[in-house]
Amino acid sequence: MLVIANWKAYVEDARKALLLFAASKRAARATGISIVLAPPAPLLGILSRNNRSTVAFCAQDVSATTGGPETGEATAAAYAAAGATYALAGHSERRTRGDTDQIVSEKITRALAHGLTPVLCVGERERDGEGRYLAYLREELTEALKPLAPKERANIVVAYEPLWAIGKDASLSIEPNDLAEMTLYIRKVLAELLPGKSSSRSRILYGGSVESGNIRALAASSGVDGFLIGHASVDPLNFPQIVKRLI
């Protein structure tokens, strides 16, 4: 199981970041679960220095540019130099700020070029009765992966994050049986887009109001390989408890 803690902009000081990092290291040691932290960029640099633990680091976003005169951009190369080994691409909170499928795909290319494992975030805005959300998901996956070489496509983690489930609480998250259906569907689409049988090794995560109250049920029979956790990942007491529910 892979757990990515998406700190978003909830964590704004080094003290809290260090507390969360220490709690994550203890949780990783106690459970053997792979924990990846996605802090705001400047804090990532502070935490990853001299990191000897199994806890890894993830960029919340990378620039679609290759560097140069681009004030404010943080490139995949800079993130890799700062100690990140994963990068989110296409999180809905970036898409609402202008990331199109094409930009998401460019970001994935940049991440791969610098040895970062891209975590492609996809998810529908709403669930309609006619299954249009399935077509929407297929298109998001296809548009992001199509420009990539077949070999590159095989190195991507997919995070299914329906927008309607993000930032709520466990009672408004997805139901385990619906998640099982979505995991299967994503695997089917990946099987069409990835070379050979490589999609059977693709990791699919779920994100959207994952908390201690629902993580175990969501993990049980849904076929997911892990979780992308937002608001519940920034409480140093609660986060280790959530991770422990996976064992």
Please state, in angstroms and rounded to a whole number, the distance separating the CA atoms of residues 210 and 220.
Answer: 13
If the CB atoms of residues 47 and 232 are measured against ligand PGA, the closer one turns out to be 232
CB of 66 to ligand PGA, least distance (A): 27
Please state, in angstroms and rounded to a whole number, the distance separating the CA atoms of residues 86 and 88.
Answer: 7
Residue 71 burial by Cβ neighbours in a 10 Å radius (0-12, 13-18, 19+): exposed
Please state, in angstroms and rounded to a whole number, the distance separating the CA atoms of residues 190 and 116.
Answer: 20
The CB-side HSE value for 139 (13 A sphere, CA atoms) comes to 8
If the CB atoms of residues 118 and 230 are measured against ligand PGA, the closer one turns out to be 230
Task: Please tell me whether residue 215 binds ligand PGA under the rule CB under 6 A.
Answer: no
Please state, in angstroms and rounded to a whole number, the distance separating the CA atoms of residues 152 and 156.
Answer: 7
Q: Which residue is nearest to ligand PGA (CB)?
A: 230
Task: Please tell me whether residue 116 binds ligand PGA under the rule CB under 6 A.
Answer: no
Task: Out of 106, 161, 211, 231, pick the active-site residue.
Answer: 161
133 contacts 161 by C-beta, under 8 angstroms = no
8 contacts 24 by C-beta, under 8 angstroms = no
Task: Please tell me whether residue 61 binds ligand PGA under the rule CB under 6 A.
Answer: no
Stretch that binds ligand PGA, among 45-53, 64-72, 111-119, 227-235 (CB under 6 A): 227-235
Active site residue 231: no
Binding track over 191-210 against ligand PGA, x by CB under 6 A: ----------------xxxx
Task: Please tell me whether residue 123 binds ligand PGA under the rule CB under 6 A.
Answer: no
Residues 159-188 that bind ligand PGA (CB under 6 A): 161, 166-167
Residues 126-155 that bind ligand PGA (CB under 6 A): none
If the CB atoms of residues 3 and 55 are measured against ligand PGA, the closer one turns out to be 3
Out of 95, 107, 110, 231, name the contact with ligand PGA by CB under 6 A: 231
- CB crowding 118-150: b at 16 or more within 10 Å, else e: bbbbbbbeeeeeeeebbebbbebbebbbeebee
CB of 227 to ligand PGA, least distance (A): 9
Q: How far apart are the first and last CA of the chain?
A: 9
Amino acid residing at 105: S
Active site residue 70: no
Contacts to ligand PGA by CB under 6 A: 6, 161, 166-167, 207-210, 228-232
Catalytic residues: 91, 161
